[in-house]
Amino acid sequence: NKTFLLFCCIVTRLITRVEYAGDIDSLRFALSLIDFNLLELRPHFPGYPIFCFFSKIIYFITRSIPLTFSFIGGISIYLTIIFTLKIWNLLFKSKPSYLKIFIFLNPLFWILSNRYMSDILGLSLVIIGLYYLIKFLNFNYESSLIKFLFIITLLMGVRISFLPFFLPAFLYLTFNISFKKALKSILILSFGISTWLLPLIYITGFKDFLNISFKHINGHFFNWGGSIISNNTGYVPRFISMIESILADGMGTWWTGRHWITILISIFLLILFLSFVQSIYLKKCNIRIEHSIMILCLFSYLLWAYFFQNIIYKPRHILPILPFLIMVFCIGVNNIIKQNIIIEKVIVLPGILCIGFLTLNLIIQHKEPTALSQIQNHMNDQNKDKIVFSSSILINDFIKHHKQSKKIIFEPKNSKFLEKYYNLGYTIFTTYNLDTRFKMNDKKTFYHNPYVNRLWPILNIYEYKLNTK
């Protein structure tokens, strides 16, 4: 059964692999397979050394960037399913209905399991780490504590931004384990982290590593990272974006402008949630320490994501919340099945089919290039010799990292040199409209579904050329 599940997870992700880098972060991860270099942002800070190490091994075998990331995505989904089931068994000691299907068909999980990023592997490590933590809280096995700490050291080298999820757990362990276990825990964490941190410092150079660390930590929180400090979006819009990320992106519910089938999914999930509430009320469950720690971990991560992550444009930052929301819905499903098996056929099965239809539609669209990748393809098709491209720093970097862009001159947005190039007969391409001094020859609009990738779903390319005749 597990072998078949593993086969399904890997094969389906390999079939739906994407043959392009959808955004600048994806491109940086893709480039890291060819030439890992933290100073050149391949990938961006903090380098994700554990993820890149294993990715390069798979890439050495497959010689294919899409196959490498999709293979890791398939393994990650499998691990997420298996260990979510294990957590369920520890917490509820019963068999969950449809949990495997919910995780397997989740639209955001599927998209990110094909994306050139480390998020989905990071999610699987969060789930594995939580399983061993709950096992330790339940049985006080020292081996479970050691495995939990080992997973934490891996998580820090795969997706360090998921680490705040475990902050309440660390606080609890600090005050509730013996001095001997605490000392051993510190040694395990120190050794585990040093196995990847020291090689990373050696490769990068100690001075350069310190400089890039301070620069990017400061940049993330205060300049470009999308935190509440660096982003001028208000508290309420950030909260609305977080809700949209969890429900619309994460669970496929309705949002403004979405397909009508998402209304059916919303109704379906609302019924499951009400069934969950009824189940909790009827059972009057006792809240044990592991339940409390898990709830606090979720709340801790929600606060971290809300205040310090880019939840406006990157729904992937809410990934650690989704498996537990799925468990809530599965409790609702179990309650429905116990009450009336007919309702399962009338409500649950059609609801699952709607989610499957939505996910299939999104992964088909995901295989098509994003608006940014379409612009890259458009620039590759230009046969002109004298070309200038002007856009934001991130978009410029994305275009210039492709081999076909060597003939293009890149200028920052609103560069004072654009008029000089224009008067010399260069063709100017921009992602923004220039003033009336420039004659527009053409305008093209590129777009993709924002629920495939919320970053730059609509982009325009303006073409300017001086008429010399």
Q: Is the pLDDT score of 37 beyond 60?
A: yes
pLDDT in tens, 300-331: 999 999 999 999 999 999 999 999 999 999 99
What separation in angstroms does the CA of 69 have from each of 165, 286, 450?
24, 42, 21
- Rounded to a whole number, what is the distance in angstroms from the first to the last CA of the chain? 72
pLDDT in tens, 148-192: 999 999 999 999 999 999 999 999 999 999 999 999 999 999 999
pLDDT in tens, 422-468: 999 999 999 999 988 899 999 999 999 999 999 999 999 999 998 76
Nearest CA to 53 out of 160, 157, 127 is that of 157
pLDDT in tens, 122-135: 999 999 999 999 99
Task: Provide the pLDDT for residue 468.
Answer: 62
Residue 413: exposure state from Cβ atoms within 10 A (0-12, 13-18, ≥19): middle
- My answer on whether omega of the bond before 66 falls inside 30° of 0, hence cis, is no
pLDDT in tens, 227-241: 898 888 889 999 999
Task: Provide the pLDDT for residue 405.
Answer: 80
* Contact by Cβ (8 Å): 80, 129: no
* Contact by Cβ (8 Å): 301, 164: yes
CA–CA dist 37, 49 (Å, integer): 10
CA–CA dist 214, 208 (Å, integer): 10
Q: At what angle do helices 322-339 and 65-92 cross, to 10 degrees?
A: 50
CA–CA dist 51, 226 (Å, integer): 23
**Comparison of pLDDT for 431 and 340, the residue scoring more:** 431
Structure token digits, residue 225: 């990272």
- DSSP, residue by residue, 352-368: HHHHHHHHHHHHHHHTS
